[in-house]
Amino acid sequence: MPTSENGSPPVYREIAEEMRALIRSGQYADGDRLPGENTIMERHGVARATARQALSVLTNEGLAVAVRGSGIYVRLFRPVRRHGARRLSKELWGNGRAIWQTDGADRAYRVDGLRVEETAAREHVARVLGLEEGAGVLRRSRRYLVEDRPVQTAVSFFSLSLMAEHADHPAARSIRSHDSGPGGVYARLSELGLAPVHFTEEIRVRMPAPEELRELHLAAGTPVLEVARTALAAGNRPVEFNQITMDGSAYVLQYDFEA
Amino acid sequence: MPTSENGSPPVYREIAEEMRALIRSGQYADGDRLPGENTIMERHGVARATARQALSVLTNEGLAVAVRGSGIYVRLFRPVRRHGARRLSKELWGNGRAIWQTDGADRAYRVDGLRVEETAAREHVARVLGLEEGAGVLRRSRRYLVEDRPVQTAVSFFSLSLMAEHADHPAARSIRSHDSGPGGVYARLSELGLAPVHFTEEIRVRMPAPEELRELHLAAGTPVLEVARTALAAGNRPVEFNQITMDGSAYVLQYDFEA
């Protein structure tokens, strides 16, 4: 913690800590309006700039959000714990369960905006899937909501020429249709002899683009997590590339591994 | 991409895409000053608000940073690829190499601000290490720099009572001293019969606190990644808890796992 000249933390930090403690203890609940600048100035005998700094500590930490023209509100949402390896284990999709069922086990979730289309692979997607740029890919995009809050969008890509090799197989048709069936696309790939055996996830963080702000209903100052996942079948054959964009305040990502 | 009423992307997005392409193609290099609002207004015949929006798309994406009173500059820094499992494999620290050597393999890195002290465990640290709140812990903190740019701070905690069980062992003394020796603290824990066999990493993202802005020299609008790592020895015994804070624009985290 930064200290002022006499060695104690600056006043705005002290005020922020006091308010943080009130939020953590439950005295301010989710959705409550926090004291505004004027109230803080009066209560603590500080200047407006100090009051504003104290509030911005809380919004920067994601504990509160500013609603334009209204005030600063407590925002608590129990983050979704997303367990990298466990959720993608073969036992899961092999048994016809949706991957999502491990993440949101006890919580109301739904998917909307599902769109399935054929498109030309851009450079990055082509490289990951081992295709020429512009090659045909199947693109499945959708949005996930937990307790009615949008938490992530996901866009998956599959090689159309790979699908064409299995054109007559019902599993290939399922991957191209809106309902990919029990266990989802990984179960279908498995029926085609293309079961994913290895996953690579790459995580990046950045501020959202304007369209992401809107799609994920992000509060000002909320970063997004980007997870780029490649699913590889036997022989290191890439069978899916998935670009996931998450509300950074809604997730804890967990990975477990051996030494 | 959002579209305006006639179905084409809004002008500010088009301008931003044009500038993004110039950055990606190398026509604007790292550190170059981008055209300012006035230049964009003139070149594209747009209002100041539109020019400003176009520039803010690039700063929001982390491709450019605003330097107060001077302008907007391209900021390119090849992110450090941090490979969750590979970097913590026993072969590595078992052979006396620093974990960092896999991350920054080909790049100049250094550590500064190393501080080792005894302190009382706060609630969260105590819970992870299986201690009572307020129990004595050894705290090792430091900052990592790549090519002279600060990229992360890390604060590790070890149970003092666990160290006391091995008080006479040179490895226990090394963990308490500034130079933890070849292979670092994991190699020393191993010599004490407490070799980590399992790691759990939890990833969160948020905007930085003021002191983190300063310590990591973060540009405005840069989020931080928080990695909380627990190292477990045989019998699920927690032997280290490490709180890592990373410049979100400087890292790609990679995790590989089997289905």
Asked whether the predicted pLDDT for residue A5 surpasses 60, the reply is no
Query: Å from A10 to nearest chain B CA?
Result: 11
- Helices B48-60 and B37-44 cross at an angle (nearest 10°) of 120
Asked whether the predicted pLDDT for residue B29 surpasses 70, the reply is yes
Minimal Cβ distance to A207: which of B1, B88, B221: B221
- pLDDT of the residue at A239: 96
- pLDDT of the residue at A109: 84
Q: What is the mean pLDDT of residues B235-254?
A: 94
**pLDDT category of residue B105 using cuts at 50, 70 and 90:** low
Distance CA A82, CA A152 (A): 12
Distance CA B124, CA B107 (A): 34
Chain B residues closer than 8 Å to A1 by CB: 211
Q: What is the mean pLDDT of residues A149-161?
A: 95
**CB spacing of B225 vs A208 below 8 angstroms:** no
Average pLDDT, rounded, for chain B? 87
Query: Å from B43 to nearest chain A CA?
Result: 24
pLDDT digits (tens, 9 = 90+) for A46-85: 999 999 999 988 887 778 888 777 789 887 777 888 887 7
Distance CA A156, CA A121 (A): 12
* Residue in B242, B240, B161 with CA at minimum distance from that of residue B203: B242
H or E stretch including B58? helix B48-60
C-alpha atoms less than 13 angstroms from C-alpha of B113 in its C-beta half-sphere:
12
- Residue A92 is encoded by which pair of tokens? 């899961």
- pLDDT of the residue at B4: 44
Rounded to 5°, the CA angle B219-B228-B107 comes to 55
pLDDT digits (tens, 9 = 90+) for B143-165: 999 988 899 999 999 999 999 99
- pLDDT of the residue at B3: 42
**CB spacing of A257 vs B88 below 8 angstroms:** yes
**CB spacing of B90 vs A254 below 8 angstroms:** no
| Among the ranges given (A40-54, A222-236, B72-86), the one the predictor scored with the smallest mean pLDDT | B72-86
ipTM: 0.77
Minimal Cβ distance to A211: which of B1, B209, B252: B1
Distance CA A86, CA A103 (A): 10
State percent of chain A over pLDDT 90: 52
Interface with B, mutate which of A20, A200, A207, A226 (most B CBs under 10 A): A207
Distance CA B31, CA B71 (A): 11
**CB spacing of A258 vs B197 below 8 angstroms:** yes
Asked whether the predicted pLDDT for residue A1 surpasses 50, the reply is no
Write down how long chain A is: 259
**CB spacing of A89 vs B196 below 8 angstroms:** no
Rounded to 5°, the CA angle A95-A96-A102 comes to 85
Amino acid at B197: V
Q: Which residues pair with A33 in a beta bridge?
A: A73
Interface size, chain A vs chain B, as Cβ–Cβ contacts under 8 Å: 142
Q: What is the largest CA-CA distance in chain B?
A: 77
Alpha helix stretches (DSSP H) within B104-245: 123-129, 160-164, 170-176, 184-191, 210-215
- pLDDT of the residue at A39: 95
- pLDDT of the residue at B101: 58
**pLDDT category of residue A2 using cuts at 50, 70 and 90:** very low
Torsion, Cα A211 A214 A217 A221, to 10 degrees, reads 60
Q: What is the mean pLDDT of residues A156-165?
A: 94
- Three-state secondary-structure class, residue B105: coil
Q: Which of A60-64, A128-132, B63-67, B76-80 has the highest mean pLDDT?
A: A128-132
A25, B5, B26, B128 from B134: Cα distances, Å: 20, 61, 54, 13
pLDDT digits (tens, 9 = 90+) for B211-221: 898 999 987 77
Average pLDDT, rounded, for chain A? 87
**CB spacing of B197 vs A248 below 8 angstroms:** no
**pLDDT category of residue B75 using cuts at 50, 70 and 90:** confident
- pLDDT of the residue at B107: 79
pLDDT digits (tens, 9 = 90+) for B161-201: 999 999 889 999 999 998 899 889 999 999 999 999 999 99
Q: What are phi and psi of A48, to 5 degrees?
A: -60, -40
**CB spacing of B248 vs A199 below 8 angstroms:** no
Tally of CB atoms within 10 A around A219: 17
Asked whether the predicted pLDDT for residue A4 surpasses 70, the reply is no
Residue A153: exposed, middle, or buried by beta-carbon count in 10 A (0-12, 13-18, 19+)? Answer: buried
* Residue in B15, B74, B79 with CA at minimum distance from that of residue B45: B15
Tally of CB atoms within 10 A around A253: 24
- pLDDT of the residue at B100: 61
Q: Is the Cα dihedral A162, A165, A167, A168 positive or negative? A: negative
Residue B95: exposed, middle, or buried by beta-carbon count in 10 A (0-12, 13-18, 19+)? Answer: exposed
Structural domains of chain B in order of their starting residue, each with its CATH number: 11-74 (1.10.10.10), 80-254 (3.40.1410.10)
Tell me which of B25 and A40 has the higher pLDDT.
A40
- Residue A180 is encoded by which pair of tokens? 């990919």
Minimal Cβ distance to A248: which of B202, B205, B208: B205
Interface with A, mutate which of B83, B119, B207 (most A CBs under 10 A): B207
| Among the ranges given (A50-64, A80-94, B68-82), the one the predictor scored with the smallest mean pLDDT | A80-94
